[in-house]
Amino acid sequence: MWLIYDGPAFLGYIILTRGFSFAFHGHDAFLDELYIVPAYRRRGFGRRAMAFVEQEACEMGVKAIDGT
């Protein structure tokens, strides 16, 4: 779980859960939740949070992220 801030302002959070997948031959992850405070939506914060989490997941050895 990562909390999203812009300076002192709390903008939301993103939760990624990890697992193991035989199909992907290693660790996978599931995007469990992505929440952005309504006043901050449609400003690219969710997109930036996803890019950050994708990079973090890659560094953790995650082979795939499912968001369905």
- The boundaries of the domain holding residue 44 are 2-66
- The CATH code of the domain that includes 58 is 3.40.630.30
Predicted TM-score (pTM) of the model is 0.81
DSSP per-residue letters across 15-31: EEEEEEETTTTEEEEEE
Using pLDDT thresholds of 50, 70 and 90, give the confidence band for residue 20.
confident
How far is residue 29's CA from residue 32's CA, in Å, rounded to a whole number?
9
- Decide if pLDDT at 24 tops 90: no
Total domains, the chain: 1
Task: Read off the pLDDT of residues 57-66 as tens digits, 9 standing for 90 and up.
Answer: 999 999 889 8
